[in-house]
Every structure is written in structure tokens, then in C-alpha cells.
Structure 1
Amino acid sequence: MTTTATHLRTIALHWADLHEAVGAPARVGAFGLGLRGYLARLDQLDAEQQEYERHQAVHLRSLERGPDQIGERPAPVRLTILDTMRPIEAALVECADQTAAIVQRSPMAYAPRSWLAADRARRDQLARADALDLRRWRYTGRRTAPYAALWLLARVERAAGPFTALREQEERRIAAVAAGAAGRVERALDITAQRRTLEQRHDCGGAIDVHGGEGRAPLAHCTGCGRVWTGGGVAAAGSI
């Protein structure tokens, strides 16, 4: 069983891969609802590529410069990856905000002026250290997806710090956000193998299993007669 901690580690570990994928050529290894879904995904990628090229052409025209102007032009980006990263980051940061509002203890108060000087100095030193504790979630500054994922991971694993224990409601919320975000990361990078059985059965009555993911084009086979289909052509997909 995949745990919340595993999902959060997946996000933190693969966030840099998403950044690299933003500037990488698109790969076709999508896993859909059978080979028809795969072919539909190809059509979708073509449409996305055309839309990207339109945006890129407009962008390049805005950057047209004379031969006397130097400097590098920005590299093309994959808008679909960026569109995946933005909601993931927003969801994780919001989840960390909500969790911190409940479990993060307020900083220790400074000593009253009425205390003896030595006691006041010791209390104020502790208060400053408590307020600056690096384990605290901040509502400004570093608010990135991997940092939020690691901070939430520490809460799930009951790491020490100025926090109370997570309640069941917070654990469920973190689990839901982490699972959704990790799933989107894995699909965007195509790093997980998948298998699905189509509702439609083959002419022989056997079930049709489709395998894909991990950068590979889907492959279908009939569990009854053993027939195999690949994504090599429309005719092969159309026979399913």
C-alpha cells in the first residue's frame, strides 16, 4: 500500500525532474483507455504542439533583434508541464498553510519588563530562538512544492518541533493532497507502469488488458485467445 509519506517523497524527489522536463521535447508514452485512448492522446499532443508553436512564434517575434544585439534567446518551454506544476504547488502550499494554522504552536512570548534582568534575558533568548526555529512553516519566503512536501512529510512522521500532533482530519487532508499531487507528477513524467482492463471484450469473449507507462507506448492483449495489439497503426487499434 502506498503511504502518504511515499507520495510526499515522490513529489520532493521528482520536482527537479519536472523543471528539467519543462525544456525537454515532449514524449509520447501516455497510458489511456486502451489503444484508442492512446491514439486520442496522440491527437491531443498534436493540438498542444500546434498551440505551443503559435505561442512560441508570437514570443519569438517579440524578441526579434538586429544583428548588432547580442544575447541568448530563451529556450522553448513545455506549457503542459508548467500547467501541471502550478496547481500542484498551489495545493501543497495551501495544505501546509492550513496544517500549520492548526498544529504549529505560537512562538514563546518575551519576558515581562517586571522580571529580573537575568531571568528576562534568558527568557528573551529562548523566545527569539523559538520564533526563528527553522522547522516552522512560514507564510512568506520559501513556499515551493518540494519544501511544502518535505514539511508535510515531517508532520506526518511526527518529527520534533513546535507542533502539536496531527489529528485524523488533518492526516486525511494531507493524504488526499499528497496522493493527487504525486499522481500528477508521475503522469507528467510518465514514470509509473500501469495496467488496465477495458470494459469492451474481444470477439472471442476474452478480456482485453492494456499495459503502458514508464515511457512505453501501450500494448494490449486478449486474455482469452492471446491476440496482441500495439499502437503501430490505426488499423490495429480499430480492431479492438
Structure 2
Amino acid sequence: MTTTATHLRTIALHWADLHQAAGQPVQHGAFGLGLRGYLAALDQADADQLEYDRHQAAHLRSLERSSDQLGERPAPVRLHILDTMRTIEAALHDTADQIASSTQRPPMHPAPATWPAADRERRNRLARADAIDPRRWRWTGRRRPAPYTALWLLARIEDRPGPFQRLTVLQRELIGTAAAGAAERVERALDIAAQRRTLERACVKCGGKIDIHGGEGRVPLAHCTGCGQIWSEGGVIAA
């Protein structure tokens, strides 16, 4: 069973891959897209592609009106990857905000003026260090990137030292739910996880349900659970 820690590491490790994928051309062999022309793609994949095509068409129209069309053009941005990244960042930040608000200990108070000078200086030095402890979650200033947030949540799951209380069962479940959803989005966007889905469209031969298997970089295959027919991107493999 995949653990919350594994999900959080997946997000941190593959975030740079998402940045790279966002600027690459669409890979039509990815899961959910390769059989689109033959069997009809999954609803979400179609929606993402249509949105991408719409923006690309608008971009091409703008080039037709532009006087400086010559020269190398930058690679098109894959909008659905960027949307995925924004969704993941928002979910992780919201989770970290909730966890920090209930588990992070307030900074140590400075020493009262009535303390002896040596003791007061020692206490104030500790208080200053506690206030700027880099392990603390910050609600103000620049928002941390998703890999940092994922690793911060990982440290809480693993009960690493810091100005925090131990997580409750409910808090662990909150992080687990957010991490699992974010990791699934990462894997789906990068096509690095095995996937299986059932199309709404029935087999034209027998009316049976059609399952698609793909992911992990493999060419997707469609299989009719009724007559056993198998399709690939190129057509029928076995009947």
C-alpha cells in the first residue's frame, strides 16, 4: 500500500519534470489520448486538449497579424499541466496552513526586564532563534514552492524535531488525503503510473464495455470485456 510519505516524495521529486513537461509539445501517445481518434478519448483528456488547441489557435492567429513572425519561436505552453501544478500547490499550501495553525508552537517570549542581565540575554537569544527557526511554516511573505511544502508536510508526518506538536490521527488523515490526490495528479500529468479506465462508449461488435490500460510510458491498449477484442493506436490487434 502506498504511504503518505511516498506520495509526498513523489510530488517533490517530480516537480521539475512537471515544469519541463509544461513547455513541451503535447504527446499524443500518452494515456487517454492515443485511442482518441478510434474509440473516443476520456472526457477530461478531451477537455484539456480542446483548451490547449483553442489557445494555440489564438496564438497562431496573433502571429498572422504580427510583423515579426520570422525566427525561432518558443515551445507552446501546455496549459493543462500548468493548471495541474497550480491545483497541487493550492491544495498543499492549504493543508500546510491548517496543520501549522493547529500544531506549530508560538515563538518563545523574550525575558522579563526584571531578570538578571545574563539570564535575560540568554533567554532573548533563544527567543530570537526560535522566532526565525527555518522549520516554522510562514503565512506571510513569498509562498513556498510545492516541493518545499511537500517536504515540510513529510517532516510533520515523520515527527521530525521542531516547534510542533505531534500530529493527531485526523491531522495525519488530512495530510494523507491531500498528498494522495496531489501525487495522483502528478503521475497522471506525467504518465508515470499504470492506469485503467472504462469508456462510456460500448463495443460496436458486441455492446460490451471497453477498458483502456496504459500509463507508465506504455502505448495504451483497449480491451472489450465482452468479446475480448483488443485495439491499439494502430487498430485491431486481436479479435
Partner SS state of residue 191, structure 1: coil
Contact 2:52–2:80 (CA under 8 A) maintained in structure 1: no
Cα offsets for 1:185-221 (capped at 9, x unmatched) = 1111111112346786897898755311123332133
Contact 2:32–2:45 (CA under 8 A) maintained in structure 1: no
Structure 2 residue aligned with 1:48: 51
Q: Report the residue type matching 1:185 in the other structure.
A: V
Question: Which segment drifts farther, 134-143 or 92-101?
Answer: 134-143
Partner SS state of residue 220, structure 2: strand
Q: Which runs of no fewer than 5 residues in structure 1 stay unpaired?
A: none
Specify whether residues 201 and 27 from structure 1 end up closer, same or farther in structure 2 by C-alpha distance, changes over 3 A only.
closer
Structure 1 residue aligned with 2:232: 230
In the alignment, is residue 80 of structure 1 matched against residue 83 of structure 2? Answer: no
Partner SS state of residue 27, structure 1: coil
Partner SS state of residue 38, structure 1: coil
Q: What CA distance in whole angstroms lies between the structure 2 residues aligned with 1:164 and 1:184?
A: 30
- In the TM superposition, residue 31 of structure 1 has moved relative to its aligned partner by 3.5
Q: How do residues 143-222 of structure 1 correspond to structure 2 at under 5 angstroms?
A: 143-196=144-197, 209-221=211-223
- Report which structure shows greater RCO (CA 8 Å, sep ≥6): 1
Question: Which segment drifts farther, 211-220 or 2-11?
Answer: 211-220
Q: Report the residue type matching 2:39 in the other structure.
A: R
In the alignment, is residue 24 of structure 1 matched against residue 20 of structure 2? Answer: no
Q: What CA distance in whole angstroms lies between the structure 2 residues aligned with 1:132 and 1:62?
A: 53
Partner SS state of residue 134, structure 1: coil
Cα offsets for 1:149-203 (capped at 9, x unmatched) = 1100100111111100011111111111111111111111111112346786897
Specify whether residues 111 and 59 from structure 1 end up closer, same or farther in structure 2 by C-alpha distance, changes over 3 A only.
farther
Structure 2 residue aligned with 1:132: 132
Partner SS state of residue 41, structure 2: helix
Q: What CA distance in whole angstroms lies between the structure 1 residues aligned with 2:42 and 2:196?
A: 17
* Percentage of pairs with the same residue: 58
Partner SS state of residue 31, structure 1: coil
Structure 2 residue aligned with 1:9: 9
Cα RMSD between the aligned structures?
Answer: 3.6
Query: Normalization by structure 1: what TM-score?
Result: 0.81
Contact 1:7–1:178 (CA under 8 A) maintained in structure 2: yes
Q: What CA distance in whole angstroms lies between the structure 2 residues aligned with 1:19 and 1:167?
A: 34
Q: Report the residue type matching 2:213 in the other structure.
A: H
Contact 1:38–1:231 (CA under 8 A) maintained in structure 2: no
Partner SS state of residue 217, structure 1: strand
Q: What CA distance in whole angstroms lies between the structure 1 residues aligned with 2:32 and 2:197?
A: 9
Structure 2 residue aligned with 1:36: 39
Structure 2 residue aligned with 1:111: 111
Specify whether residues 229 and 17 from structure 1 end up closer, same or farther in structure 2 by C-alpha distance, changes over 3 A only.
same
- In the TM superposition, residue 80 of structure 1 has moved relative to its aligned partner by 1.2
Partner SS state of residue 166, structure 2: coil
Q: What CA distance in whole angstroms lies between the structure 2 residues aligned with 1:90 and 1:167?
A: 23
Q: Which runs of no fewer than 5 residues in structure 2 stay unpaired?
A: none
- In the TM superposition, residue 72 of structure 1 has moved relative to its aligned partner by 8.5
Q: Report the residue type matching 2:233 in the other structure.
A: G
Cα offsets for 1:42-93 (capped at 9, x unmatched) = 75565234212134246658986599xxx98755311111111111101101
Specify whether residues 214 and 64 from structure 1 end up closer, same or farther in structure 2 by C-alpha distance, changes over 3 A only.
farther
Q: What CA distance in whole angstroms lies between the structure 2 residues aligned with 1:3 and 1:66?
A: 50
